[in-house]
Structure 1
Amino acid sequence: MKKKAAVIDMGTNTFHLLMVALDEKGFETLYKEKVPVKIGQGGINQNLILPDAQKRALHTLDHFKHLIRGEHIDQVFAFATSAVRNAENGDVFVQKIHQQTGFTVQVIDGDREAELIYKGIRMSGCLDDSNALMMDIGGGSVEFIIGNRHETYWKGSFEIGGQRMLDLFHHQDPMSQEDRTNLTEYLSQHLKPLLVAIRQYQPKQLVGASGTFDTLTDIFIASTEEIKNRAIHKHLLPLKAFYEISDRLIQLNKEERLQIPGMISMRVDMIVVASCLIRYILRQLDSGDLLCSTYSLKEGVLAEIMEQADRNQDVTVNTLE
């Protein structure tokens, strides 16, 4: 018999809700929603969650709580990542969430975040026996994992997420050449451990998870006048198409980017710096076309739940009162 569960991913830019019915063999999505809460806006580089951001977060979590109750789900897994784990007022914010919504939020470190992202990507079918470099571009941090469908060899979390890069380098719109050059130098300094790992493990495939990669895939598919099959969780993005899309994003301002078929408003700001990051990473690899996984942290949580159920282990849950 399938059990119901809900996963809440409190990202720096976007809050995700995923409600499922699952057993050890798989899961059925009952409902999912994403909301551009932007808890890092205005304060992320000062390690603060500002009052307006807290209000947006609490309003969204209250909305999620009503949806979860409406589906009669009492097993809730809530996670917070970069913005909350680095905020000086993060602990107080988590306590406030529990007081107002009943959710017990697990604030996870970068290694744990990368581990869950890997498990989600693996479940999408994007991995095979050869080594791949996996990346997930969040608003606060970016996670990188090197491994294959059997195991991981290296993982790292870097506090260079989209909101941070946006605040530091996207001073003009369209983004100036000077800002793009400064961003590249910044990445070269901050990603040295990743560059060492790439030389050591020599991954040939770049696999991007959700977020920015979903939007890039949507833009590419829209350009072919096809309809994206939401039942497929692994999408190919030709390298030539990526560079064409990225060139276009860099050259346009916000209003012009919003007119691109496949673009969604919650990605329109960060997608420029995110595409610059992807370009930088591709230059470090001898990679073919991009693979894009629609699965990431949320689905990694479900993969763990199913693994634990298969081993008859107790699963740590947050039970709503």
Structure 2
Amino acid sequence: MTAAVIDLGTNTFHLIIARISAAEIEVIYKTNLPVKLGEGKINENLIIPEAFERGLEALKGFNETIKQHDVSIVKAIATSAIRSASNGVDFVKAAKEQAGIAIDVISGDEEAAYIYKGVKATGAITGSALIMDIGGGSTEFILCDSQAVFWKKSYNIGAARLHQAYFNSDPINAPDQAAIVDRIARELTDLKEACALYKPEHLIGSAGAFETFAGMVDGETNIKQVRSAPIEREGYETLSKKLIASSHAEREVMPGLIKLRVDMIVIAAILTNYVLDISGISKMSLSTYDLKMGVLYSLTELERG
């Protein structure tokens, strides 16, 4: 069968179309649009009118593309921005009526489960690992090995939420950094306990900011051509310090840093640094497979019957 998966993220809407058999997944089309659904009032749990309309227009375009590919099943998955928004139900209704897209609003726990399936499919999990997926609205953590999930949780500390709440200086100053770290520390107390219990040896970052980290640390890595790639720890630490110390204007011209992540990458670096610190992990990797591929692999399981 041919399947389409739409990931309605807080910052970006993604569309991926693939031919699925019991044996393999062949991606035949993918695109994304910087919808910025969480713009302005994500911490007030509201999709502002401008973002609401951008989201609908993106879905209308996606539906036209889907019609061109003889798709037999469409899975549109909404995560933090829509599930927490007071008008999220209105957006889901409008998407069905105006764009012909039926949206499944999933829980943070379901989101983490899909992320695990996607990352597992890369073969990057070779021992005890901590998977981290930094979204705009939420961040997911999964403690696992290649056979099972030991612990997983989604937290409302996505990059867009933290950015809107605490990023008030340029470059980000020490008080703003301290406020972010304090918020992260209060939120992640049980993650710290879980890491002490399961002792992960490997941090695997799922797509997003980690694609930027990997690409900027190793400029020769073509992220679009790999399922996973190592992120050299010393190189990451140097990059992290540079990103946090830089101004918006300086980051805008850094090679490998896309416009959508010019500010969000600072939050991602602060969050990643904190997780590395509390977990004691020294090994880092990127998985280019994330929730979208996890949904596709779930459909593969259905094909197997």
Give the conservation status (yes or no) of the 8 Å contact 2:118–2:297. Answer: yes
Partner of 1:315: none
- Equivalent positions of 1:99-138 (< 5 A) are 99-128=97-126, 130-138=127-135
Report the alpha carbon displacement of residue 227 of structure 1 after superposing the two structures with TM: 4.7
Partner of 2:74: 76
- The amino acid across from 1:203 in the alignment is P
- The amino acid across from 1:295 in the alignment is Y
Is residue 228 from structure 1 mapped to residue 222 from structure 2 by the alignment? yes
> Take 1:282 and 1:227, find their aligned partners in 2: how far apart are those partners?
23
Aligned positions, number: 305
TM-score after normalising by structure 1: 0.93
> Take 2:233 and 2:36, find their aligned partners in 1: how far apart are those partners?
30
- Equivalent positions of 1:37-76 (< 5 A) are 37-76=35-74
Give % identity. Answer: 38
Report the alpha carbon displacement of residue 230 of structure 1 after superposing the two structures with TM: 2.9
> 146, 156, 160: which is aligned to 2:143?
146
Partner of 1:13: 11
- The amino acid across from 1:141 in the alignment is S
Partner of 1:261: 255
TM-score after normalising by structure 2: 0.98
Report the alpha carbon displacement of residue 286 of structure 1 after superposing the two structures with TM: 2.5
Is residue 210 from structure 1 mapped to residue 214 from structure 2 by the alignment? no
> 206, 231, 246: which is aligned to 1:252?
246
Gaps of 5+ in 2: none
Partner of 2:278: 284
Q: Say if 1:93 and 1:112 are closer, same or farther in 2 by CA, change over 3 A.
A: same
The alignment partner of 2:75 has SS state of: strand
Partner of 1:318: none
- The amino acid across from 1:195 in the alignment is K
Structure 1 moving runs of 4+ over 3 Å:
none
> 95, 98, 112: which is aligned to 1:97?
95
Partner of 1:176: 173
Report the alpha carbon displacement of residue 73 of structure 1 after superposing the two structures with TM: 1.5
Report the alpha carbon displacement of residue 254 of structure 1 after superposing the two structures with TM: 1.6
Give the conservation status (yes or no) of the 8 Å contact 2:109–2:153. Answer: yes
Partner of 1:275: 269
Give the conservation status (yes or no) of the 8 Å contact 2:211–2:223. Answer: no
**Quick check: 9-18 or 251-260, which moved more?**
251-260
